[in-house]
Chain A
């Protein structure tokens, strides 16, 4: 079985500060890892994905994440937070599943950006 754990259900940063959202995974097979963002009352949008290529993955809106197998981590970072980054962020893991690619999500991290 696969799972992800997101540390910190709420993270607050100042505008311009570093954003760090933590995600640790558990998987018996090489995982595929994802970060999704959900803005209020909207669906999920893919920020970035790791699919066993480069361990440092760049996504949209200036976000990036690094896959660290030794630490079973896939933390999301952004050098400088913007007010528009305030949203709910979900880490997810996927693995082989007959026919469909089942995503297993973490519990989410609410990012608040303050002036």
Chain B
């Protein structure tokens, strides 16, 4: 009965590879987000999707491509991974006008 789930929880890969992180929410929310938490624990929004439409794109390199097949899913694909992409990536969701966001458990990405 997990509200916001992410897979995988851990991801270790080499520079130059392409990888994807998946996010699913069963809360019936219509808005989903991706946040990046760096090694100093600083959290910054990357993307926001509302009803499968990209709403927020915070000057993220175009190597990062979010995809929302439906309202319950928001995946993050990263091409040509770089060392600086190592971080914890959090997915979150909210319902329309609600200001309350629910976060997933995070995916720790390590690029070697």
A residues in contact (CB < 8 Å) with B = 32, 34, 36, 38, 42-46, 49, 51, 88, 90, 94, 97-105, 107-108
> Which B residue sits closest to A101, measured CB to CB?
B99
**Interface majority SS on A: helix, strand, loop or mixed?**
strand
A99 CB contact (under 8 Å) in B56, B92, B104: B56
Q: Point out the residue from B40, B42, B48, B49 that lies within 8 Å of A102, measured CB to CB.
A: B48
A51–B50 Cα distance when bound, in Å, is 21
Instruction: Decide if B56 touches A100 in the complex (CB within 8 Å).
Output: yes
Given contacts A49-B100, A102-B45, contact A43 B106 (CB under 8 A): yes
Residues in B with CB closer than 8 Å to A38 are 41
Count B interface residues, CB 8 Å: 28
Q: How far is the CB of A111 from chain B (nearest CB, A)?
A: 13
Residues of B within 8 A of A (CB): 4, 31, 33, 35, 40-45, 48-50, 53, 55-56, 90, 92, 94, 98-106
- Chosen A-B contacts, 16 in total, with CB atoms closer than 8 Å, are A42-B105, A43-B4, A43-B90, A44-B43, A44-B92, A45-B103, A49-B100, A97-B55, A97-B56, A98-B55, A99-B31, A99-B50, A101-B99, A101-B101, A103-B45, A105-B44
Closest CB pairs A-B (n = 3):
A100-B48, A99-B55, A105-B43
B103–A44 touching, CB < 8 Å = yes
Query: Residues of B contacting A45 with CB < 8 Å?
Result: 103
Verify A100–B90 contact, CB threshold 8 A: no
Q: Residues of A contacting B4 with CB < 8 Å?
A: 43
* Contacting residues, chain A, for B49 (C-beta < 8 A): 100
Compute how far the CA of A32 lies from the CA of B4 in the bound complex, rounded to whole angstroms. 23
Given contacts A100-B31, A100-B56, contact A108 B99 (CB under 8 A): no
